[in-house]
Amino acid sequence: MLDLRIRSLHQAYQSRTISPEALIRQVYDQIAQHNDPALWIYLAPLADTLDRVAQTSPDLPLYGIPFALKDNIDWAGTPTTAACPEFAYTPATSATVVARLCAAGAIPIGKTNLDQFATGLVGTRSPYGICRNLFCADYIPGGSSSGSGAAVGAGLVSFALGTDTAGSGRVPAAFNNIVGLKPTRGYISTKGVVPAVRSLDCVSIFALTCVDAQRVLQVAGGFDPEDIFARIERSPDQLKLDNLASLRFGVPDVLEFFGNQDAAANYQKTLARLQDWGCQITQINFQPYAEVAALLYEGAWLAERTAAVGEFVAVDRPGLDPTVKGIIRRGAAIDAVSAYRDLYRLKALERQIAQQPVDVLVMPTTGTIYTIDQVTAQPVELNRNLGLYTNFVNLLDLSAIAVPNGFQANGLPTGVTFMAAAWQDHFLCELGHRFHTELGGTLGATHILI
């Protein structure tokens, strides 16, 4: 198994232990051995990828680093499907984020499967199949960025791009025992990304470690004048890792693990570790967060999904996932009066939340995980359960990072998410790194120790 961490690869290149060309050949060998055709919607021919390697410079910050991207993100000359074959188009230019990464020397190798139109947290809503859960094939891989999470967790690429509107950059991280960074809205350009809820969409980063996620963010981020939702980074009072005892860590007063006692136990161990660090643990009223979370799929923001692809979905087509079709079509019934009322409700909930101030939120990434059969039987309800601790984050303009926090008795991983105000992304990477390294263990489903 290759060690695909960025620092490890650069050290290997510098010492001439391996060349980027040889590394890429081994990556393709590992993809073949992994043998999960549902993971990839498009895999670039090896010869084309080797040509890209030959055109990069060793001086670049991500020189020779292989990555994958979710197939709702444009890569020039390759089809973008959003997991719907009838929707496919071939863009002439790459998304801004892809162009920046390639200019920094990173090597794209393929486009990954997803819940269709990035609508879902389960990874089962695609006509291209269901990616294999790396730890037990009976279980879901997490979505909507299922292929990107699985590609990193299996050790097939160093990092992968996902998107995260409701939790799609965090849930697959939890289910694949990896890191999922959901940056501040507008930090990474969404130009060239098929929109889901355009005002909330974020490009997310999956990596084996928080250090790698942060390094990719440093290249991928930055204001894009061609993205109408891009924001110029501001400099708030940055939280400091060396002053954790002064920070207030908020935890929900009511927790729901949907009967999963192992996930509950791992979360309590997480809180105990934070207390050992001297952190202040403060209970918060979770009810307003839960109400915000419900607005994303049950309120006015559902209409944004209809605004994005509703005309396409309005026509019955053989490749449309029935659950996704039903969700997106519902948004057409939301009128302007309802939209304003939901906006006012969000503002009222924000005021309630502001009255119980904390510096960092610490929550389970998900309360549990489900089997494919369970999700097939209850596709909407169980998806809603998975979004309990994720759906509110973008509506409240938070930054977040999901990191592993242990395993269940059945061998499946669990995760915890640290959240903070906008533009605290780098602090969260440092916090996640300390937690992850102290937790120890292996990276993803590889045998490589952190």
Active-site residue set:
70, 144, 168
How far apart CA 11 and CA 17 sit, in angstroms, is: 8
Positions of E strands within 165-223: 179-182, 203-207
* Contact status, residue 2 vs residue 27, Cβ threshold 8 Å: yes
Give Cα separations from 347 to 52, 156, 182, 236, 299 (angstroms): 48, 43, 22, 22, 14
How far apart CA 422 and CA 186 sit, in angstroms, is: 10
> What does the block give as tokens for 433?
């790194």
How far apart CA 159 and CA 184 sit, in angstroms, is: 19
Residue 99 contacts by C-beta under 8 Å, 6 or more apart in sequence?
A: 93
Positions of E strands within 113-262: 159-163, 179-182, 203-207, 248-252
> Using DSSP, how many helices (H) and how many strands (E) does the chain show?
15, 11
Q: What is the dihedral of CA 383, 385, 390, 392, to 10 degrees?
A: 100
**Spatial CA neighbour of 145 closest among 128, 129, 126, 121:** 121
Tokens 């940055």 appear where?
238
How far apart CA 215 and CA 220 sit, in angstroms, is: 9
Half-sphere exposure of 163 (CA within 13 A, CB side): 36
Positions of E strands within 320-434: 360-364, 398-407, 413-421
Residue 344 contacts by C-beta under 8 Å, 6 or more apart in sequence?
A: none
Half-sphere exposure of 4 (CA within 13 A, CB side): 33
* Contact status, residue 126 vs residue 115, Cβ threshold 8 Å: yes
How far apart CA 56 and CA 63 sit, in angstroms, is: 7
Residue 118 contacts by C-beta under 8 Å, 6 or more apart in sequence?
A: 70, 72, 82, 144, 145, 163, 165, 168, 194, 196
